[in-house]
Amino acid sequence: MMEEKKWITLILCIALFLLIFQASTFAEEQETEKLVYVAPNGNDDGQGTIEDPFKTAHRALEEMKQFSGRKSIVFRGGDYYFTETLVIDLETYGNNVHLSAYPGETPVFTSGMKLENFRKLNKTDHIWESLTSDQREHIRVAEIPEEMNDVENIVDKYSHWVDRGRVDLSSNLVTHRNERKLSIEAEMWLPSSEKQVAYFNVSIDKYADTNYEKDLLMRIYSSDWNTNLLPVKKIIDKLLLTEVAGTYKLVAYEFGEEKAAWLENVIEGVDNPNKWVINSFENKLYIWPAREDFQVSIPLLDELIRIEGSDVDPMTSLEKPIKDITIKGITFTNGNRPNWEKNDAGAQHDWAMLDKGNALLRFRGVDNSLVTECNFTKSGGVGVRYDLYAKNNQVIDNNFSYLGCEAIHFGGYGIGVKDDNRDNIIKNNEIHHIGMIKWDAPAIVIWNSGYNTISGNIIHDIPEKAILLSAPRSRSFTKETPLREQAWSLARWFEMKESDTTRINRDGSELVGNEMTFDEEIAQYYRFNRGNTIEENTFYNVLSADGIIYITAQGIGGANRIVGNNFVNMHMSPSEGMVWPQGEEISRNQYLIFADGFLGDLVIQENIFAYSESLFWPIFIPLWYGEGDVSSNVFYKVEANYDFVENYINPGFAEDEDYPVTLNLTKVYDNIILDDREHDDDDGLSSTTYNRIIKRLSSSIPGITKKQQQEIYNHMIEEY
């Protein structure tokens, strides 16, 4: 009997232990994820449950402090107004943070404050006498809070884009550049003071009298590949001074667009519907609305969300990236675009700002993030950007539209040996109407970043290049001559051998002929634009001065590859319905793919070019070192300037004593040109390549009609 009781006691103890262990395990499993809900009609004093959700993202994030497991915040549909940037940092919240939409609903993140109480103008308004009768009838005015008068863009609920009022000063801008007759690019080394002044043939004082001078901006094409938008410091008769220097001198160039210079944010330019200006001295916003029931909101923030690791800095290597982040199903809109400041770093030709807080969604020091099924629209700055440390991140299945600057930005470190912006994926996104404020902004910026994949994207209806692959050119290696345009302020000089710096910049900061001379064979070891793959994308209605895809400043360690893309309906003037503030006089598309020197290994294969125009060669690839391979591409109804273009592909020039390096000619072979002209390289496709191209032509290609696509298909069949 005693023995039996012992066994029963033992069994009961084991059973109790198992129950305790199971309960403990269940509790641990429950604590591996913290899930909270947020709704526009929620309560920040609530529980964060689906029945009692929080009201704001900031309150939901506070709930995640000190929790080490998976942190999930689910947003119900509706508008969320951000009055301060939501900062998700590693030190406060740790890794593994996930923001997503509730299934079937659309949360909208915005910093836009609605403006109300618009009124018609009357004779007491100080601008009355300077306006036409139409302007007096249609312009409306509203007061804005003093803390929100530094506004660079606004949103109307019923319009895709509201453009700022500007007047064209091109015909009166002085065109004389410099007695030294420097090339335009050589002007980047001139003192800033020489690039902050513009001269006109007539007085422009009246614009400073009618408008608040500090609100004015000068927009200028000082070359056909670059446009600056610079805050005005002072207008004195025929002279205009800017707060910051331009990329080059503020003069009109002698070729290219007929329109080259504007004064922006002037009431005189609000001469049609969907135009606006602000007067920060009066704290007033003026608009000519497109419809009577317009609904305007103005942005409070430059960044809506910033996600960052710890100790992230362009000059150290001590950073700890934040990891495992998801942003899913959210619409981002109405962020402000900050203007250039004196110490900003610019990517090549100032096409983009580097390490700058100007994106709706910004990552700074991140590993393994996913941004998917989101919509970035109607905002002044960038859509999503990844600054400095960024590895293994994915931007997939998103939409980007009506943005002032670029859609997607990956920007690494400056000159040096730190290679920590790489191995990212940009896939299956649609991008259109980009560069609405920064007219030369690329849709996708990859700067000093390598081994990234850009695939399956549709990019269309933008005023400049679709993809930029760039890095610091050797001309950046001038320690005594700061260059904003080449990200000089981000240079990690302490990582470079002094002998290399001297050799790269062989002549110091002295101009040799028109430009400095450099040693690219050394420079390529200190930059990381390499091993990038651009594949299976479709481009149409893209206007570019220097390539729909533009590549330069490559590093050692793998060819950049452009493979299996579709370039269709690229024309030299704006397409119908395209938002094109510059005016229709502009002429674009000098090239469809442009490799602009400073380059090594490059592969361009199996791309389709159809129903397009280019001013010069469709493909221009003067490599400075390495090997180039341009093969198995198909051309159909591609127009170029046949006065000097003997073929569709220019592999580069022969050795030239004026060039600082010897140019390596690219191998060009097996390309198919479906017209009646004779071409030396038209040798045919392999059966495998032919089948891949036919398969692509059998599926719908965006940007061309079914009839156009069928024509290409039929000609391919006839060719073989």
Which tens digits make up the pLDDT trace of 468-479? 999 988 777 776
Q: Are residues 265 and 238 in the same domain?
A: yes
> Average pLDDT over the chain, rounded to whole?
86
Question: Does the pLDDT at position 656 exceed 80?
Answer: no
Q: What is the pLDDT of residue 513?
A: 45
> How far apart are the C-alpha atoms of 339 and 360, rounded to whole Å?
15
Higher pLDDT, 521 or 130: 130
HSE at residue 358, side-chain half, CA atoms within 13 A, is 27
Residue 678 confidence class, pLDDT cut points 50, 70, 90: low
Cα 153 from Cα 44, distance rounded (Å): 31
In a domain? residue 677? no
Where does the pLDDT of residue 98 fall: very low under 50, low under 70, confident under 90, or very high at 90 and above?
very high
Residues 12 and 88 in one domain: no
613 — pLDDT class (breaks 50, 70, 90): confident
User: Is 74 a residue whose pLDDT tops 50?
Assistant: yes
The answer, yes or no, to whether residue 668 has pLDDT greater than 80, is yes
Question: What letter would DSSP give residue 487?
Answer: T
Cβ-Cβ contacts under 8 Å for 705 (sequence gap 6 or more): none
Domain finish residue from 299, 315, 348: 299
**Residues 423 and 333 reside in one and the same domain:** yes
| Domain co-membership, 158 together with 294 | yes
Q: Which residues contact 80 (CB under 8 A, 6 or more apart)?
A: 38, 40, 56, 57, 107, 108, 109, 110
- pLDDT the model gives residue 263: 96
Place of tokens 């790489």: 422
At residue 15 the predicted structure's pLDDT band, cuts being 50, 70 and 90, is: low
Strand locations in 569-684 (E)? 593-595, 602-605, 608-613, 619-620, 628-631, 634-639, 649-650, 667-669, 672-673
| Token representation of residue 282 | 């009066």
Domain of 428, in residue numbers = 37-111+304-439
Work out whether the CA dihedral 133, 135, 140, 146 comes out positive or negative.
Answer: negative
Q: Which residue stretches of 76-132 are H helix? A: 90-93
**Residue 487 φ/ψ, nearest 5 degrees:** 55, 40
Please say which residue of 270, 299, 328 terminates a domain: 299
* CA-CA-CA-CA dihedral for 384, 388, 392, 394, to nearest 10: 10
pLDDT for the residue numbered 483: 66
Question: Is 291 in the same domain as 162?
Answer: yes
pLDDT of 496 reads 84
Span of 145-159, 354-368, 405-419, 630-644 with lowest mean pLDDT: 630-644
Of the pLDDT bands very low, low, confident and very high (cuts 50, 70, 90), residue 664 is: low
pLDDT for 516 beyond 60: no
Per-residue confidence (pLDDT) for residue 362, from 0 to 100: 99
Does 354 score more than 80 pLDDT? yes
One domain for residues 430 and 364: yes
User: Parallel, antiparallel, or unpaired for β 672-673 and 634-639?
Assistant: parallel
Q: Which of 403, 422, 439 corresponds to the end of one domain?
A: 439
Question: Quick one: 272 and 125 in the same domain?
Answer: yes
- 695 HSE (CA, 13 A, CB side): 9
β-strand pairing of 119-120 with 226-236: unpaired
Residue 679 has pLDDT above 70, yes or no: no
Which residues of 66-117 form beta strands (DSSP E)? 70-75, 78-81, 86-89, 97-101, 107-110, 112-114
Residue 169 in domain: yes
Claim to verify: residue 178 and residue 75 sit in the same structural domain:
no
β-bridge pairing 226-236 and 217-223:
antiparallel
Residue 295 lies in a domain: yes
Residue 260 has what pLDDT? Answer: 82
Q: Two tokens at 439?
A: 């007219």
Percent of the chain with pLDDT over 70: 83
Identify whether the C-beta of residue 160 lies closer than 8 Å to the C-beta of residue 579: yes
Residue 140 within a domain? yes
Q: What is the mean pLDDT of residues 666-679?
A: 76
Q: How confident is the model at residue 672 (pLDDT cuts 50, 70, 90)?
A: confident
Confidence of residue 187 (pLDDT cuts 50, 70, 90): confident
- Give the helix/strand (H/E) hosting 470: strand 467-470
Tokens of 224: 């056909």
Residues 164 and 227 occupy one common structural domain: yes
Residue 101 pLDDT greater than 50, yes or no = yes
d(CA 280, CA 541): 37
% of the chain residues with pLDDT over 90: 59
Structural domain count, the chain: 3
Given this model, what pLDDT does residue 582 score?
47
Q: Which amino acid is at 468?
A: L
Write out pLDDT tens, residues 450-463: 999 999 999 999 88
Same domain, residue pair 71 and 2: no
**Cα separation, 487 vs 315, whole angstroms:** 13
Q: Is residue 449 included in any domain, yes or no?
A: no
Q: Are residues 200 and 322 in the same domain?
A: no
- My answer on whether 255 and 317 are in the same domain is no
The whole-number average pLDDT for the span 60-87 is 95
Give me Rg for the CA atoms of the chain. 28
- Contact (CB, 8 A) for 166 and 263: yes
What does the block give as tokens for 61? 């994030």
* 104, part of any domain: yes
pLDDT over threshold 90, residue 514:
no
The helix (H) or strand (E) run that includes residue 232 is strand 226-236
Q: Is residue 527 part of a domain?
A: no
| Residue labelled with tokens 């618009």 | 118
pLDDT for residue 276 is more than 60: yes
Q: Is the pLDDT of residue 508 over 50?
A: no
Q: Answer yes or no: is 507 within a domain.
A: no
Location of structure tokens 């262990």: 21
- Note the pTM of the prediction, 2 decimals: 0.91
Report the pLDDT averaged over residues 220-239.
91
pLDDT of residue 112 exceeding 50: yes
